[in-house]
Amino acid sequence: MFRLPTALAALIAALVLAPAALAASEEGDAGDLPLTAQDLSGASVDRIDGSLADGSDIDVYRLCLAGGGSFSASTVGSSAVDTQLFLFDVHGFGVYANDDSDATSQSRLPAGHALTPLAGGIYHLAVTPYNRDPEGALGPLFPDLPDVTGPLGLPALAIVGAWTGRPGDSGDYTIQLTGAACAAPDTTAPTVDLRSPLDGATVALGAAVEVDYSCADEAGGSGLASCVGTPADGSLLDTSQHGPVSATVTAVDNAGNQTVVTHTVNVGLDFGGFSRPVRNRPSVNKWRAGSSVPIRFSLGGDQGLDVIAEGWPQVAEIECGSGAEADTGAPARRSALVYSSRWQRYGFYWKTDRRWAGSCRQLLLKLSDGSVKRADFRFARHRH
């Protein structure tokens, strides 16, 4: 399939999408430097009508360009004055210039030229009589040539500050313009795809969790300026301590729109569930009231003997068959916690009460990472 060259496609898009243009006229005497330029940047302009009052007059106009190489300016066929055209950026640095074009003494800054600005934004267009040329602190800004020329590449002090050369013609001019219209402002924030860690997930202490993300700006937007994550993309989340830990990614586009995405995970103990003879929820364990229940569970290895929060486990009475989750209960009577390196699990005995016969209770085991594990029991006088 045939594809347009990128620069040409951008030029066509800029021209097609540009808002309706209008003709502008010089008001009084347009200024002769960027700081005093007549401001036309608030509208799309396709023509400027003005006059060089005398052979030393300089007219500078502030324009907002769409970019993409779409800008052009020409006095060819629309002025009897021997003109020169100069384009400067927002700061006053030279972009490109022309004296004579199309075998005439008028001038043209062409679209689609290697020197035509690709970036949209504020620029300054100057029209002068021949031979009035811009100078910076270190001398001329452009070579004295009739062709389309770029700046001489002087150091950063080379912004336009004065005009030199002998006076030229005076009289009326019309500058025909294209691309002198800013595209619609980019108000859409870039997107962040934070794939890992998963927000709200629980991961084991010491788990290797890689941070994985990317950012993008919308098609036709101002472009992505930065995509910064803490921790950085491809690095590992710090899971060395219990508790919440976050990864944050900030994306900023060239228009200053910003998106911040944060995912927080809980670094907890790797609870492997209760082991036999206790069954995990939603199963209900049927047990004889007053007998002891061996409570066994794994945490992914030996995590020390301080894995149960102080004041826990607890026991709460619940309605049988309700599936309720109690928040707290009364302290449970239990034996000391032990760890079996052979079986790689923890265990203790929970002493139940004879008076619980005919009721349902929930054992709540709060671990040192703040998580609460539950097991449900229905108590009878005889073992089921």
Work out the number of other CB atoms within 10 angstroms of the CB of residue 84: 27
Cα angle for residues 361, 365, 366 (degrees, 5° grid): 135
Half-sphere exposure of 290 (CA within 13 A, CB side): 8
DSSP 15: H
CA atoms of 255 and 260, how far apart (whole Å) = 16
Structure token pair of residue 49: 């009508």
pLDDT at 300: 84
Half-sphere exposure of 222 (CA within 13 A, CB side): 21
CA atoms of 348 and 352, how far apart (whole Å) = 13
Of 372, 182, 190, 201, nearest to 271 by C-alpha is 372
Average pLDDT, the chain: 90
pLDDT at 14: 44
Which residues on adjacent β-strands are paired with residue 334?
350
Q: State pLDDT tens for residues 171-181.
A: 999 999 999 98
The answer to whether residue 154 scores a pLDDT higher than 70 is: no
Q: State pLDDT tens for residues 9-57.
A: 444 444 444 445 588 999 999 999 999 999 998 889 999 999 999 999 9
Which residues on adjacent β-strands are paired with residue 340?
345
Strand order, beta sheet including 314-318: 284-288, 372-380, 360-366, 314-318, 330-331
Q: State pLDDT tens for residues 341-384.
A: 999 999 999 999 999 999 999 999 999 888 899 999 999 975 54
Q: State pLDDT tens for residues 192-240.
A: 999 999 999 988 888 899 999 999 998 877 789 999 999 999 999 999 8
